[in-house]
Chain A
């Protein structure tokens, strides 16, 4: 009884990430790539994403500190950032990336800086939420629910 309650809670937590717009269907695509042989694929990809994009964030920060902004360079960094954010289904982060790129397109330095601050907030909020989710999910993997078929791709 407790075990099923736990899994219901986990499912609700997961659903809220979608309902609140943090994640989109690409995250579900990644989940579909998990199976018994690769039970932590999503977490691995997300971990890789955060590690890899830290470098991009640093580069963008450095660029934004310059007096003459190189919008082409900034756009190029953001293109990469948007790409990998899109690949993990990071919906809000991806939207901020698009906004930033719009500001690059119009050469709006102020807009870029504002948008980047917002982006970093979304980025770290998502990180916390996903970290918490994966931690709880791990518990669920060790103690699977009764008679529930875990769907996986064979």
Chain B
């Protein structure tokens, strides 16, 4: 996706190297919630993520994903158990029965607790309108299936630079205030 290759181009090698050095202890800590109704695809995405140093929880539906996040409205006696399973990224298939990936995306973005979690949509269909709609709704990225290692690497790099980017943006906005020409 050109949108994301621009983003990853901005954070060139030195930046990424610096960040990887500083985060070297945390490389394994990205916990991804993968949502896909296909057994085969779940197995593949799980492996792709694990080989990219991510922890993975794979579920087979949007409803189960919401349950896992504790967004299903079910009362829990001590929800604290789930806090230790903090999710850093959600990657979901688009076409699923009962709840589509798009609907799941909307529910997550509507939640004050979880709206900051980046959501990536996967779809076998490369439909511009669908991609636009997902990005507009706040999806971080859109991957056309079948998912490749390079797709996961791109996401992994994004996650790794996310904190740095947030810090840079803070500094950058101060910088721009000085530079701005009408």
| A residues lining the B interface (CB < 8 Å) | 26, 29-30, 32-33, 35, 38, 41, 44-45, 48-49, 52, 79-80, 82-84, 86-89, 153
Contact = CB atoms under 8 A, between A and B. Distances in A.
Given A44-B43, A89-B146, 19 more contacts: A33-B44, A33-B149, A38-B47, A41-B47, A45-B43, A48-B43, A49-B40, A79-B95, A80-B38, A82-B124, A83-B124, A84-B39, A86-B124, A87-B38, A87-B145, A87-B146, A87-B147, A88-B40, A153-B149
Interface string B79-102: 000000000000000010000000
A127 B40 CA distance: 16
A52 B40 contact: yes
B54 interface: no
Given A33-B51, A84-B38, A153-B51, A26 B146 contact: yes
Nearest to A89: B146
Question: Which 7 pairs from chain A and chain B are nearest by CB?
Answer: A84-B40, A26-B146, A87-B146, A52-B39, A33-B47, A86-B146, A49-B40
Contacts of B39: 48, 52, 84
B41 A29 contact: no
16 contacts: A26-B146, A32-B149, A33-B44, A33-B51, A33-B149, A35-B51, A44-B43, A45-B40, A52-B39, A79-B124, A83-B124, A86-B124, A86-B146, A87-B38, A88-B40, A89-B146
Contacts of B148: 26, 29
A45 B39 CA distance: 9
Nearest to B45: A87
Q: In terms of DSSP, what is the predominant structure of the interface of chain B?
A: helix
A86 B145 CA distance: 8
A63 B169 CA distance: 56
A52 B40 CA distance: 8
A44 B40 CA distance: 10
A41 B95 CA distance: 25
A80 B47 CA distance: 20
A83 B43 contact: no
Interface in B28-51: 38-41, 43-44, 47-48, 51
A5 B92 CA distance: 45
Contacts of B38: 52, 80, 83-84, 87
Contacts of A26: 146, 148
Contacts of B43: 44-45, 48
B130 to A, nearest CB: 14
B123 to A, nearest CB: 10
Contacts of A82: 124
A88 B48 CA distance: 13
A44 B46 CA distance: 13
A87 B146 CA distance: 5
A80 B125 CA distance: 12
